[in-house]
Amino acid sequence: MVRYIKIILFLLILQSPFSFIRAQRIEPNLKLRVGEQLIYKVKYSFLTLGSLKFEILGRDTIDDRPVYDCILYIDSNPSLPFVKIHDVYESYIDEDIYSRRFKAWERESGYVLYTQYDMDYEKREVHIVEKKITETDTIMAADSIAVLDTPRKVQDGLSILFFARAMAKANRPMSAPVFAFNELKYTFINFTGKREKVEVDDEKYKAYYLDGYLKFVGIAGVKEGFKGWFSPDAQSVPLQAHMEAFIGHVTLQLESHKNWELAKSD
C-alpha cells in the first residue's frame, strides 16, 4: 500500500551515521499540555495528499510512573483514487519524554495490523505483540521479546517527534535510540539553535530550525534531507516541515490547533 502520508511519523527513524554522539547527555524539556490538538495538511506541489492530527488525550500511569497519552491519526485525502489510509498511532510518553508504551493500528489489505510495544527498562527489553484483526477474527501474529541493546531509554515511532520538540532549542547534533518495526534504530537530528521566520496562514512567526539527513530510503520512500521549524514557546509546536520522498518534495503545514497560542514574530 502507498504510505507516503505517514512521512512526519517516520521521517526521523533511521540508523545514525554519527555514532560518536550517541553517548551525549540528553536533557529534553517540553511542556506537554493535555487537550493540545494539532492538525497538518500534507502536500505534494499543489496536491493535498491527506492530513495528520496529533492530540494529547490525558495523563495515565504505567508501572506506577506518570505518562501522557499521545495519539496520531493519519487520513488520506478522500478525493484521491485508489488510496484509503486511516491509521492510528498511540504513544505513552513519560515526563522525561521517553516512550513507555506504543500502539499502532495500520490498515492492510483485508485486515488491520495491531502492534504494541511495552518498554521494560529494568530488564532492557521490549515486549512485542502483533495481531491481525479482520471483520470476523483476531489472529496473533507475534508475541515476543526484543533486547534493548543500549543503556539509554528509547523512543518509538511517535514519541520521537515529541523528543524533537523537546530538544528543538538545543544547539548541537544528537542521536536517540528508537524502537521501531521491531528493531532498535538510531535517529540523527541536527539541532541548530537558529531562529528563523516561517509563514503560517500568510503571517510570519518565530521558529527554531532543525534539519537532518537519511542515509537510506526508509518508510514511504522518505530519503535524503529533511527540515523542520518549531515554535519558540514551552510547547515547541512543529509549524512546518519539508522533506524528500519517493514522489518528490513534500511539505507539511500546520492548519489548525487547540490549547496552544501561536505568537507572531516581530
Residue 50 in any domain: the answer is yes
| Full residue range of the structural domain in which residue 159 is found | 4-258
Residue 30 in any domain: the answer is yes
Residue 36 in any domain: the answer is yes
pLDDT value at residue 186: 82
Our CA angle for 42, 44, 49, nearest 5°, is 45
Q: Are 115 and 108 in contact (CB under 8 A)?
A: no
pLDDT tens, residue by residue, 94-133 = 999 999 999 999 998 899 999 999 999 999 999 999 999 9
Per the structure block, which three cell numbers stand in for 35?
487537550
Residue 265 in any domain: the answer is no
Q: How many domains does the chain have?
A: 1
Strands (E), 121-237: 125-133, 138-147, 172-180, 183-200, 203-214, 223-230
What's the CATH number where 40 sits?
A: 2.40.360
Residues in the chain with pLDDT < 70? Answer: 1-26, 213-225, 245-248, 264-266
